[in-house]
């Protein structure tokens, strides 16, 4: 399939990809000033990830915002496949999602797909992915999500919430649909084949828990888009509003290519990394610099292919003016990679020290964030959906 | 695949098939005097369905009985796809299972697969299959199952019991395994594809609920065998004893061929049929008789292809001597089809009158038979299985 050629599925994704081409392949719309102004009419200010198009494309984000403005029921939904500890690539969309939650003052439904990660990874144990789900919850809490408005569901333990909906979703999806959307083969296990019905069901769960059609916005990496295309196809026949999306680019790792990924831990910064270890990873990062300081002063560096500059742009420099100064200083050769990396290393270490303190304090608060402590499962027979 | 040629899958099955050939295709063993004597050493008498080889083949029935004799933990497991009301073809294995439960004094785990029937049948609603699950429970209670020892699980409502096990099962089964076992295609929905992991997980649930490896015997129609072949393949790697089976032949409908089936309601007798309606169905049944009474007296009938005789043999004549007399009277032309059908019609009507009284009284007792009222779900992390 076409999207294979640019290697974007939920399980394999480059960074520094041609995001414009991705839009065309996936059929999503680029984020424009129209949607951003609509959001600004509600939120007053606009998050730097929008200004800089870290979140850069969408499906019906405008419809979601109009529904919100009209006073319809709305909710946020995102999730995490807990295959290990959280790294900065994971928390990028969460930081934006937390901001949205605060500005819109609406609920976030968060899915921990410990079953999916168990199914996907050979040799992985379900006990381990389930443990990581709880570890990852600590990061969500540390980022400041609102405990009253954040409802975390863990697939293996909360399946009774999803199953009444997933059963109906599963009937509407054939193996051949999956094959083309996800690149499944004859040797894919039947857990993986069934799994999309759970990720899609979660998009419809808010409607069932609230008992009214709910407009759901999903802020997530563009690599998750195949799920939402199917979800949007089947939503009308089930009586739900189509879930809407806002897609982020993928944070590059600190190496020469690819998204930040657990498969290359030396180029990924984990929230559990000791700050000094993380700082060292930054100091060893791949940059857009010249081979020597002399050449760099003469020719300037290239921030557009630099993993260090991307970290500033996508996470660690909220001030547009300062980011622009850094960009120009690099381009003109005024800023050497060593100095630039030292600044980032210090910011990363500072972030981690603060985050890790909050993360430890979060251990007593996990229960308050779990969906199961706040909602009853949707009854099988009185779902609002069409049959 | 070979078994396709004789049209036996869980969703399509003839009766009057060549059961010997089926044994060869499925690789099960014929039931012999060895297993029957082993059972007799426990139960003292032997059910007519065994004597007559209505239950005619098995996998490791002897291993199950030896385990029972040695005092290992054992349990029974069977189930029902609640696509409608119960007919006599369904209760045939239940009657035998109830007898086994009484004689062995062990628990029966019973699965109502309302999800599967919803997935399998186009236009079917989950509300309806779920309602039928409860209707079918009434038949189980009316047949006299022991409420303390009978634990009924309804897939859609009790998924939290199965999912921790099913997740592990699903990882061990690929789409291509399914395709060959069940004849699935590219256009099969992903619910159907996932479903076998639930039917198989149920075979392992007793081990989890008891907290010790449990030898499970599954009395069921031979058409369910594809599930158990997969279950037996993967059980050792999960730390469970291989589930064992005893297979029944399929009760023919009252027409000229095929198992009793909801697809031909005029040739099926439902437990909810008014007794006089059921009697009329019997009087219109296809028999092995001659075209005229005169020819019948002269040439005799053929009970071997007669749906009426099969009803006596498999359900309504427990007395071997009387059955033999009926067989000979037919063969010699002494018994005409009209008389024979009248006797069966009266027995069927009598059975239904009695059953329907018990069935109505059962409505207050449903809760006591539900697994969820008696067990906690197995914890995800402390399962006894290997990882």
Q: Please, what are the domains in chain B?
A: 2-254 (3.40.50.620), 265-362 (1.10.240.10)
Query: Which residues numbered 326-385 in A keep a CB inside 8 Å of some CB on B?
Result: 380-381
A41 inside 8 A of chain B by CB = no
Per-residue exposure over B367-381, b if at least 16 CB sit within 10 Å of its own CB, e if not: eebbbbeebebbebe
User: Cβ separation of A190 and B168 shorter than 8 Å?
Assistant: no
CA distance A116 to chain B (A): 9
Burial (0-12, 13-18, 19+ Cβ within 10 Å), A71: exposed
Measure the CA–CA gap between B325 and B320, rounded to whole angstroms: 9
User: Cβ separation of B171 and A380 shorter than 8 Å?
Assistant: no
Measure the CA–CA gap between A31 and A248, rounded to whole angstroms: 11
Q: What is the pLDDT of residue B180?
A: 83
For residue A9, pLDDT over 80 is answered with: no
What is residue A8's three-state secondary structure?
strand
B186 inside 8 A of chain A by CB = yes
pLDDT digits (tens, 9 = 90+) for B187-207: 999 999 999 999 999 999 999
Among B288, B284, B280, smallest CA distance to B313 is for B288
Q: In this structure, what are the phi and psi dihedrals at residue B247, rounded to the nearest 5 degrees?
A: -100, 135
Q: How large is the average pLDDT for residues A357-369?
A: 98
DSSP string, B92-137: HHHHHHHHHHHHHT--EEEEE-HHHHHHHSTT--HHHHHHHHHHHH
Q: Mean pLDDT in chain B? A: 92
Q: Which of B118, B163, B196 sits opposite A171 (nearest CB)?
A: B118
Q: Which of B160, B178, B381 sits opposite A159 (nearest CB)?
A: B160
Q: What is the pLDDT of residue B259?
A: 86
CA distance B328 to chain A (A): 52
Among B201, B210, B192, smallest CA distance to B172 is for B201
Q: What is the pLDDT of residue B245?
A: 97
Q: How large is the average pLDDT for residues B220-241?
A: 93
Q: Which of A187, A197, A387 sits opposite B174 (nearest CB)?
A: A187
ipTM of the assembly? 0.90
pLDDT digits (tens, 9 = 90+) for A156-182: 999 999 999 999 999 999 999 888 888
Among B286, B289, B248, B249, smallest CA distance to B268 is for B286
Please give the residue of chain A at the shortest CA–CA distance from B125.
Answer: A387
Identify which has the larger pLDDT, B336 or B379.
B336
Give the pLDDT band (50/70/90) at residue B10.
Answer: low
Contact between residue B84 and residue B95 where contact means Cβ atoms under 8 Å apart? no
Q: Which of B115, B126, B197 sits opposite A190 (nearest CB)?
A: B197
pLDDT digits (tens, 9 = 90+) for B148-202: 999 999 999 999 999 999 999 999 999 998 888 888 988 999 999 999 999 999 9
**What percent of chain B clears pLDDT 70, i.e. is strictly above it?**
94
The angle that helices A33-43 and A61-69 make with each other, rounded to 10 degrees, is 30
Among B130, B87, B137, B83, smallest CA distance to B272 is for B87
């Amino acid at each position: 399939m076409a999207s294979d050629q640019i290697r974007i599925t939920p399980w394999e994704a480059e960074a520094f990809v041609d995001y414009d081409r991705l839009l065309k392949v996936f059929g999503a719309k680029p984020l424009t000033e129209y949607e951003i102004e609509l959001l600004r009419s509600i939120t007053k200010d606009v998050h730097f990830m929008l200004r800089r198009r870290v979140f850069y494309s969408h499906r019906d984000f405008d419809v979601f915002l109009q529904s919100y403005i009209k006073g319809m029921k709305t909710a946020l939904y995102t999730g995490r496949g807990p295959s290990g500890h959280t790294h900065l690539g994971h928390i990028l969309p969460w930081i934006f999602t937390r901001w949205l939650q605060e500005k819109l003052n609406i609920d976030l439904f968060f899915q921990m797909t410990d079953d999916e990660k168990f199914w996907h990874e050979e040799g992985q144990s379900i006990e381990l992915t389930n443990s990581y789900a709880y570890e990852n919850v600590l990061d969500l809490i540390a980022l400041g999500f609102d405990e009253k408005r954040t409802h975390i569901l863990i697939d293996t333990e909360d399946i009774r919430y999803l199953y009444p909906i997933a059963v109906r979703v599963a009937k509407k999806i054939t193996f051949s649909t999956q094959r083309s959307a996800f690149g499944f083969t004859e040797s894919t296990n039947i857990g993986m084949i069934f799994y999309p019905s759970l990720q899609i069901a979660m998009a419809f769960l808010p409607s069932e828990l609230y008992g009214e059609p709910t407009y759901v916005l999903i802020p997530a990496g563009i690599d998750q888009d195949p799920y939402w295309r199917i979800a949007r196809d089947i939503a009308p026949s089930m009586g739900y509003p189509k879930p809407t999306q806002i897609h982020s680019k993928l944070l590059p790792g600190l190496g020469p290519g690819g998204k930040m990924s657990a498969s290359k831990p030396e180029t990924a910064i984990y929230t559990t990394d000791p700050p000094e270890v993380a700082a060292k990873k930054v100091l060893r990062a791949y940059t857009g610099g010249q081979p020597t300081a002399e050449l760099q002063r003469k020719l300037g560096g290239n921030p557009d292919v630099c993993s260090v500059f991307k970290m500033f742009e996508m996470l660690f420099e909220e001030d547009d003016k300062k980011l622009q100064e850094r960009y120009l200083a690099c381009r003109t050769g005024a800023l050497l990679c060593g100095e630039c990396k030292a600044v980032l290393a210090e910011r990363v270490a500072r972030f981690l020290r603060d985050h890790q303190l909050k993360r430890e304090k979060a251990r007593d608060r996990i229960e308050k964030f779990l969906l199961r402590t706040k909602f009853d499962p949707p009854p099988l027979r009185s779902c609002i959906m069409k049959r």
